[in-house]
Amino acid sequence: MLAELSPKLIAEVQRAAKLLATKSRICVLTGAGVSAESGIPTFRDKQTGLWQHYRAEDLATPTAFERDPKLVWSWYQWRRQLVHDKTPNPAHLALAEWQQDAKKNKQSFTLITQNVDDLHEQAGSTVTHLHGHLWRNRCHDCGTPFQNEVAAWDSSKEAINFDDELVTCQHCDGYIRPDIVWFGEALPGQAWQTAEDAAANCEVFISVGTSSLVYPAAGLAHLAKQNGAKLIEINPDPTPNTIVDITLAVKAGVVMPLLLQQVIALS
Ligand code: APR
């Protein structure tokens, strides 16, 4: 696998592995790029990013839902169709293996994601979701979780109904919406607390597949840095982020298994 990478990149992978092998508190933040090799579009990649073709203002804000709930609901039903048969790629699998290894060795390895897909869980990881869950629904008005055969998540994903008819809450008659954090909404409190604690206490913070443009998630790397952590970024199109210590400018699915292999070899 090393042969596929340039000598400069191999040297960077080895530098990252050496650093990681001596540390026992690691925090990883993933974004849409980690699921790109599974066939799920990112938001901001040129050509393929969702926000290149759709306007977030029309589809991913509470105001948009209140203005045109049918449009927003059908867009998320379409996204569910797009995602339902996707499976973890080597990056998800390596992160799951790493987390399990860390647990065995009594090390701390916190995985945080901005993604609403469940590919980290499918790979076997325990993951904190900052931006909610694509497969969950709740009432927009009273917040009650909603689950039945209409548009609900079925663990086998065989009985999903992708109907784009709006559904109403049994308690208050409000419209049912996906349990996703939209622009302008607060992050789930418990998830954010877990993320802040892990970022503030880690020795190495790894950003994988995120443009680091959306706050507060993007602030976690800064919090880690202020508390003395080293930062590693994995992104084929690295962000202009001056606080990063090591940049691995390659696809996550290519480099994550390799990085893990090197860390295990050095540990
Ligand atoms: N491996 C690693 N990184 C990749 C890969 C890959 N195979 N393919 C693309 N990328 C990188 C891109 O270069 C880009 O920097 O992934 C990043 C994806 O960035 P965004 O599309 O902005 O996704 P993300 O950072 O997760 O967005 C944050 O924005 O719209 C909201 O709520 C949505 O959670 C999302 C948030």
Q: Which atom of ligand 1 is nearest to the CA of 239?
A: 15
Residue 246 contacts residue 204 (beta carbons within 8 Å): no
Q: What is the pLDDT of residues 79-90, one digit of tens each?
A: 998 998 899 999
Environment class of residue 186 by beta-carbon count within 10 Å: exposed (0-12), middle (13-18) or buried (19+)?
Answer: exposed
**pTM for this prediction:** 0.96
Confidence of residue 149 (pLDDT cuts 50, 70, 90): very low
Confidence of residue 5 (pLDDT cuts 50, 70, 90): confident
49 lines ligand 1 (CB under 6 A): yes
37 lines ligand 1 (CB under 6 A): yes
131 lines ligand 1 (CB under 6 A): yes
Nearest-CA residue for atom 25 of ligand 1: 210
238 lines ligand 1 (CB under 6 A): no
Give the start-to-end residue ranges of the domains of the chain: 6-39+88-131+187-266, 49-85+133-180
The crossing angle, in degrees rounded to 10, of helices 219-226 and 189-201 is 40
CA of 105 to the centre of ligand 1 (A): 31
For residue 192, the model assigns a pLDDT of 98
CA of 167 to the centre of ligand 1 (A): 31
Query: H-helix or E-strand containing 59?
Result: helix 56-59
Nearest-CA residue for atom 35 of ligand 1: 114
Q: What is the pLDDT of residues 154-180, one digit of tens each?
A: 555 556 777 889 999 999 999 999 999
For residue 161, the model assigns a pLDDT of 74
CA of 218 to the centre of ligand 1 (A): 12
92 lines ligand 1 (CB under 6 A): no
Mean pLDDT computed over 111-129: 97
CA of 211 to the centre of ligand 1 (A): 5
- 49-85+133-180: CATH architecture: 2-Layer Sandwich (3.30)
How far from 250 is each of 2, 74, 93, 255, CA to CA, in Å? 12, 34, 17, 7
- 6-39+88-131+187-266: CATH architecture: 3-Layer(aba) Sandwich (3.40)
